[in-house]
Amino acid sequence: MPATAPSEARISAAINAAKACGLAIAEVRIERDGTLRVLTAREDTRAPNSCDEIFGCGT
């Protein structure tokens, strides 16, 4: 069964739901079949590495 056609209300509801869950939104995709995907940003959860500073790879 195809997804419901995208609408401004449906897109806003999906974005607001993701934000209410505390997620950082990176991208919103609307597929050809009408599927709506809200992609979230990933946080870098790696532990600091002493070599990162030496080689300029750290934050």
Largest CA distance in the chain: 54
Confidence class for position 6, pLDDT limits 50, 70, 90 = confident
Q: What is the pLDDT of residues 36-58, one digit of tens each?
A: 999 988 766 566 666 666 666 65
Structural domain boundaries in the chain: 1-43
Taken in order 12, 15, 29, 4, the sign of the CA dihedral is: negative
Instruction: Using the predicted structure, report yes or no on whether residue 9 has a pLDDT greater than 90.
Output: yes
- Tracing tokens 């993701």 back to the chain, one arrives at 18
- Tracing tokens 């999906």 back to the chain, one arrives at 14
